[in-house]
């Protein structure tokens, strides 16, 4: 069954199509939104081997002229050098202003290819075909594109919406289990910050969450996560306020990734640690009940996601927090919850308490 989630952004509106075994529908969906002519698929080596041929065949079968670029996998690929190299590839492939880019992969490929689309010829169309759980529920939706520079992660980018998103749940079957579990951290986030009933559904199905063959449960998880993300982005596309709730767990999460050196923790694992920290902080300063905090922690533990990282010292994390995009005037800002499903942004935590919370994890 195809689940369709609209993202309502006026003339930048689009649909997220979610289903199992739907990759070959890409060409029809592209044609349906008026895309035609030439396109360039950008993917990575892990994803391309499994899915590039089927995507390419679907597009060629419908009369598109299709180029394919396969990049090395991993976060270092999301860099400025790749942006310019890909611009050159777009020229070589003969892409013009009516052409489009297909981002086939996880968040690394989606963020990079989206930024290339945003900047080539001052912007051409692109479509997102996310293949990790994290990219299905988060990075492919909402239009944040960009790359890392040596000074920091995601420091260069653009808000640039795709024309459509196609999430084929079957592609998760080849995703390494560690990456899949990390994506669940972002799924839990939506329940924690926005939807207590969704959190309860996840709790009730906790034993089945790791089963990538359970298409029905997966479709509910991905579908509801995308609905929540779409609702938030529709109200605040450029993160003037509300959208920042999506950063729950990311303040300390990013600091852990940074101090560990990118690569040791995958993004969702940093978010898991940061979420448990934010839940504890919410008990301390935002009125979350200890019982709800324990329920939040239990979900991360159940999926064997990390909930602390005692070998990192607070002063090192605090230094990383100072350069975080969310830090204003030296004080990190936290998304906290007063109850599961009720979040607020821009919270500060007294210095001594920030350290105490870390040491107590």
Q: Which residues form the interface with ligand GLY (CB under 6 A)?
A: 138, 142, 144, 243, 246
Least Cβ distance, residue 314 to ligand GLY (angstroms): 25
- 192 neighbors 343 (Cβ within 8 angstroms): yes
β-pairing verdict for 164-168 and 334-339: unpaired
- Regarding 191 and contact with ligand NAD (CB under 6 A), the answer is no
Residue nearest to ligand GLY (CB): 246
For ligand GLY, give the closer residue by CB, 230 or 281. Answer: 230
Answer for which of 174, 235, 313, 322 binds ligand NAD (CB under 6 A) is 174
Estimate the crossing angle of helix 267-285 against helix 290-302, to 10 degrees: 170
Q: What is the CA radius of gyration of the chain?
A: 20
- Regarding 254 and contact with ligand NAD (CB under 6 A), the answer is no
Residues 260-299 that bind ligand NAD (CB under 6 A): 267
- Tokens standing for 287? 């009125």
> Active-site residue 239, yes or no?
yes
Q: Print the binding letters for residues 30-69 with ligand NAD: x by CB under 6 A, - otherwise.
A: --------------x-xx--x-------------------
- Regarding 233 and contact with ligand NAD (CB under 6 A), the answer is no
Catalytic residue among 189, 250, 280, 333: 250
Give the span between the Cα atoms of 149 and 153, in whole angstroms. Answer: 6
Give the span between the Cα atoms of 191 and 109, in whole angstroms. Answer: 26
Catalytic residue among 179, 186, 269, 292: 186
Least Cβ distance, residue 243 to ligand GLY (angstroms): 5
The H or E element that residue 359 is part of is helix 351-359
Which residues contact residue 261 at a Cβ distance below 8 angstroms, ignoring those fewer than 6 apart? none
Least Cβ distance, residue 237 to ligand GLY (angstroms): 10
> Active-site residue 81, yes or no?
no
- Length reported for the chain: 361
Q: CA torsion sign, 202 to 208 to 211 to 217?
A: negative
**Following DSSP, what letter does each residue of 15-47 receive, concatenated?**
EEEEESS-GGGHHHHHHHTT--SEEEEEEEHHH
- Name which of ligand GLY, ligand NAD, none residue 297 binds, using a CB cut-off of 5 to 8 Å depending on partner kind: none
Which positions are annotated as active-site residues?
A: 122, 144, 186, 229, 239, 243, 247, 250, 254, 267
What does the binding site for ligand NAD look like in residue numbers (CB under 6 A)? 44, 46-47, 50, 73-75, 78, 105-109, 111, 131-132, 134-135, 138-139, 142, 144, 154, 171, 174-175, 179, 267
């Amino acid at each position: 069954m195809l689940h369709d989630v609209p993202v309502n952004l006026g003339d930048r509106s689009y649909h997220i199509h979610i289903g199992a075994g739907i990759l070959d529908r890409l060409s029809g969906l592209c044609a349906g939104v008026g895309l035609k002519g030439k396109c360039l698929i950008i993917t990575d080596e892990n994803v391309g081997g499994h899915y590039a041929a089927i995507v390419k065949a679907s597009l060629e079968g419908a009369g598109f002229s299709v180029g394919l670029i396969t990049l090395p996998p991993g976060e270092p690929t999301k860099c400025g050098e790749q942006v310019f190299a890909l611009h050159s590839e777009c020229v070589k492939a003969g892409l013009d202003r009516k052409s489009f880019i297909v981002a086939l992969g996880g968040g690394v490929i989606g963020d990079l290819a989206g930024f290339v689309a945003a900047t080539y010829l001052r912007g051409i169309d692109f479509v997102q075909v996310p293949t990790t759980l994290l990219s299905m529920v988060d990075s492919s939706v909402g239009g944040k594109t960009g790359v890392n520079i040596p000074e920091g992660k995601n420091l260069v980018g653009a808000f640039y919406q795709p024309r459509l998103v196609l999430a084929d749940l079957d592609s998760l079957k080849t995703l390494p289990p560690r990456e899949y579990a990390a994506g669940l951290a972002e799924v839990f986030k939506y329940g924690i910050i926005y939807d207590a009933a969704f959190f309860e559904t996840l709790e009730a199905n906790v034993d089945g969450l790791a089963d990538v063959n359970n298409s029905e449960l997966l479709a509910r998880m991905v579908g509801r996560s995308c609905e929540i993300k779409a609702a938030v982005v529709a109200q605040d596309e450029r993160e003037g306020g509300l959208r920042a709730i999506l950063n729950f767990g990311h303040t300390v999460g990013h600091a852990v990734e940074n101090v560990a050196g990118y690569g040791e923790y995958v993004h969702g694992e940093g978010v898991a640690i940061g979420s448990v920290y934010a839940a504890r902080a919410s008990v301390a300063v935002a009125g979350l009940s200890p019982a709800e905090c324990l329920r939040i922690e239990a979900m991360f533990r159940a999926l064997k996601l990390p909930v602390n990282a005692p070998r990192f010292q607070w002063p090192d994390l605090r230094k990383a927090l100072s350069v975080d995009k969310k830090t204003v005037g030296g004080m990190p800002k936290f998304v906290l919850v007063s109850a599961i499903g009720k979040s607020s942004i821009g919270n500060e935590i007294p210095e001594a308490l920030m350290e105490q919370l870390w040491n107590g994890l």
